[in-house]
Amino acid sequence: MELLPTTTVRDLVHTHPEAFTVFARHGMCDDCRKSPPPVPLAHFAKKHCDGDVMGLLDELQAAIGM
């Protein structure tokens, strides 16, 4: 799976559950682990990572072993 700013949080967490640790570090609650939001990674980064999409993508790639 290629990680892009348009990849959804839902798709990523369903495909790579280990990615949740990164989202949790940035404020995602445990309820979202069971039902991840269908928002793009760029949206999550804007809301939770001071807009640093590339930093979020780097963290996620490291977490899922890409």
The contacts of residue 51 (CB under 8 Å, 6+ apart) are 45
**pLDDT (tens digit, 9 = 90+) per residue, 41-66?**
999 999 999 999 999 999 999 999 97
In 3D, which of 11, 9, 46, 15 has the Cα closest to residue 29? Answer: 9
- 39 pLDDT band (50/70/90 cuts)? very high
pTM, rounded to two decimals: 0.90
C-beta separation of 19 from 1 below 8 A: no
Please state the rounded mean pLDDT for residues 15-31: 93
